[in-house]
Structure 1
Amino acid sequence: MQPQTQTSSSPAVNNKNWRVWWQLTRPHTLTAAFVPVLLGTALAIQDTNIHFGLFFAMLIASLLIQAATNMFNEYYDYKRGLDHENSVGIGGAIVRHGVRAKTVLNLAFGLYGLSILLGIYICMNSSWWLAVIGLICMAAGYFYTGGPLPIAYTPFGEIVAGFFMGMLIILISFYIQTGTVSAVSILVSIPIVILVGAILLANNIRDLDGDKEFGRKTLAILLGRNGAIYLLAGMFIVSYTWVFILILMGYTSAWLAIVVISAPKAIKATKGFIGKTIPIQMMPAMKATAQTNTIFGFLLSIGLFLGYFL
């Protein structure tokens, strides 16, 4: 399919309308970057005094990379013809509001540049090996939807997103505070890996029919709609079970059991996909999936703080 070309008939974006630019960052996805940084820092507080300069630098850098990744997604979905004015989803700055595609791409690279500056500060106060890891994370964000074979078009999108946006951010956040990576930090990161992957799976369940038409081979397409919903439910179950296993084995405080408060969101997310085939009908389930990750991660962090202070 030939890339779409913007014409003079495209709606002109009002540069004073900050909501258009805010929407371009896909703000409700940014918690996927905030939660791992908070969790990694909560883990570190048990071993050291927190360096708040490093915490905020890591937080802002992660948010910038996440926002840039969303913009790459917006740009390449437009260029490949996946986005149009009637598309259902969180994108639309290009096709609905007339933002120039090149502007979106340049802005994404600009955010990457800012994150590199923050990364230099982080490396100066921890280890320069993190520069290599950071560049790999940025490459993963770009190639998720960019390049000749986007990761998002393969069955590995959930795994890649979970690893880079879940485990790696948690471990880096822990490392810059403590100078090491512990077995507990790895074990506690596993549920977040799964739940970040669940967000991508939920997105692919919603877009299953459209993705199939464009030749994508996502995990949801390979498993089929019902199989993907069963997998989503299983991911939720494993995430909660994993926390209780860590508690029973003595790796973490019993306070981490507070994550059960987020279980109704997981149930709502799973039920919201059952029997649905129209994308707009599945938007509440997608939202509930993202909220599950956010609330679960916050509660996990709170549990760690309570276990330390009480």
Structure 2
Amino acid sequence: MQISTWIRGARPQTLPLGLAPVLVGVAASWRWEALGGLRSCPAFPGRLLEERADAGDVLGHCAFSRPWFAVVAMLCAVVAVGLQIAVNYLNDYADGVRGTDARRGSDAAGPRRLVASGIDPSRVLLAAAVAALAACSAGLVAVVITGRWWLIALGATCLVAGWGYTNGRHPYGYRGLGELAAFVFFGLVPALGTQYALSGSITVTGAAGSVICGLLSVSVMMVNNLRDLEDDAAHGKRTLMVRIGSGKGKCWCVRALGWAAGLTVVFAMPLSVYAILLDLLIDLPAEVDRDRSCTEYGICDDWSWGNADWMSLAAFVSIAGCVAIATRAVAAVRHDQWRRALPLCSMTSLVAAGAFVLNACQAGFMA
């Protein structure tokens, strides 16, 4: 069997939904580090315990290690993407066995799935197990390196949730709870879990980014379920879209995209941009405005472009791109163009996460 068949079964157009929240968690941790956030020391000696004098006191703190940070970040990415692939295979397996995917293959019904195309269900289940094993292995290594042992329980919960979505006697995906699970396990959990693994903290930026990723994961789930609404209803799969109908479903999907784009504009925008806008809106004395701009924002009479300024510009462009892609996704949803809407929703998530990363880089250069 060709490798392209298994790549298709992994649904690569949805994989940004697994990577984006990890990027948000990495960005929130990096920004917290740049702003001098305090963290508990990890078990693995990647960051060495040091002492420093602070206001006359000797304090213990963890020295920041970029290699340690990069390794943990990559392990978190493997966990998130591996679980995403495992869930995609499990969904293919369960829906194929139940006959829900029998009509897949036409443009209206979406791409044909593995089991529905004749592949042995046991092989699809094995592929899901391999992906889950890779995710678990990376997760265990991350736990050992960081010393956050309770994350094992969180990972086990994710595995159970991935299996129960369409498998078992009472799959919750067949009872209208798929969108809620997508919000939690492809938004809140990977983003906040990554941030906590890296920094031992949860910040407002990380929480906002996790909500954005959750909303965009929900929008992808809604697009899938709107596309399959008739087939799902015929096979007893009572998704949220089946329960509320196509009209309300499209409205909710558009709202999820709109909220995600709006929150990205608010929380991923660099502080320097807000500072410039504030200076434009508030009429301050010239000498006060000039002194504050020079000391706080680096905008002096002899000001020139630096790394932080380029990062601010890149973040602004990324935010604008996020809004533009989300707008196109909204148009596709309204016109029932599901094959176009799904990758647009998924790409919006990745571009939004990129804006958070660029914002964090800008804060790092400013620190």
TM range (shorter): 0.7 to 0.9
What is aligned with 1:218? 239
SS in 1 for 2:116: coil
Shift in alpha-carbon separation, 1:247–1:57, aligned structure 2, 3 A: closer
Which whole-Å CA distance do the structure 1 matches of 2:10 and 2:329 have between them? 23
Q: Equivalences for 1:82-101 in 2 at 5 Å?
A: 82-84=100-102, 86-87=104-105, 88-96=109-117, 98-101=118-121
Normalised by the size of structure 1, how large is the TM-score? 0.85
Q: Equivalences for 1:1-12 in 2 at 5 Å?
A: none
Q: Equivalences for 1:274-285 in 2 at 5 Å?
A: 274-276=334-336, 281-285=337-341
What is aligned with 1:267? 327
SS in 1 for 2:32: coil
Which whole-Å CA distance do the structure 1 matches of 2:6 and 2:172 have between them? 26
Indicate which of 14, 17, 32 corresponds to 1:47.
Answer: 32
SS in 1 for 2:115: coil
SS in 2 for 1:266: helix
What is aligned with 1:152? 173
CA contact (8 A) 1:40 1:185 kept: yes
Unaligned runs of 5+ in 2: 34-63, 275-311
CA contact (8 A) 1:202 1:232 kept: yes
Indicate which of 101, 104, 118 corresponds to 2:124.
Answer: 104
Deviation at 1:40, TM superposition (A): 0.6
Shift in alpha-carbon separation, 1:128–1:251, aligned structure 2, 3 A: farther
Deviation at 1:294, TM superposition (A): 2.3
Between 1 and 2, higher relative CO (CA 8 Å, sep ≥ 6) is seen in 2
Deviation at 1:188, TM superposition (A): 2.8
What is aligned with 2:189? 168
Bigger Rg, which one? 2
Which of 184-193 and 101-110 deviates more?
184-193
Which whole-Å CA distance do the structure 1 matches of 2:128 and 2:202 have between them? 30
Q: Equivalences for 1:19-168 in 2 at 5 Å?
A: 19-48=4-33, 49=64, 50=66, 51-84=69-102, 86-87=104-105, 88-96=109-117, 98-126=118-146, 127-168=148-189
Unaligned runs of 5+ in 1: 1-14
Which whole-Å CA distance do the structure 2 matches of 1:24 and 1:224 have between them? 28
Which whole-Å CA distance do the structure 2 matches of 1:38 and 1:226 have between them? 33
Q: Equivalences for 1:280-295 in 2 at 5 Å?
A: 281-295=337-351
Q: How many residues align?
A: 289
Q: Equivalences for 1:195-206 in 2 at 5 Å?
A: 195-206=216-227
Shift in alpha-carbon separation, 1:161–1:252, aligned structure 2, 3 A: farther
Which whole-Å CA distance do the structure 2 matches of 1:218 and 1:85 have between them? 17
CA contact (8 A) 1:26 1:91 kept: no
Q: Equivalences for 1:235-250 in 2 at 5 Å?
A: 235-246=256-267
Which whole-Å CA distance do the structure 2 matches of 1:191 and 1:56 have between them? 21
1:211-257 CA deviation, whole Å, 9 max, x = no partner?
11122222212222111111111112222222444479x99975565
Identity of aligned residues (%): 22
Deviation at 1:103, TM superposition (A): 0.9
Which whole-Å CA distance do the structure 1 matches of 2:357 and 2:243 have between them? 35
Which of 129-138 and 99-108 deviates more?
99-108
Task: State the one-letter code of the partner of 1:54.
Answer: V
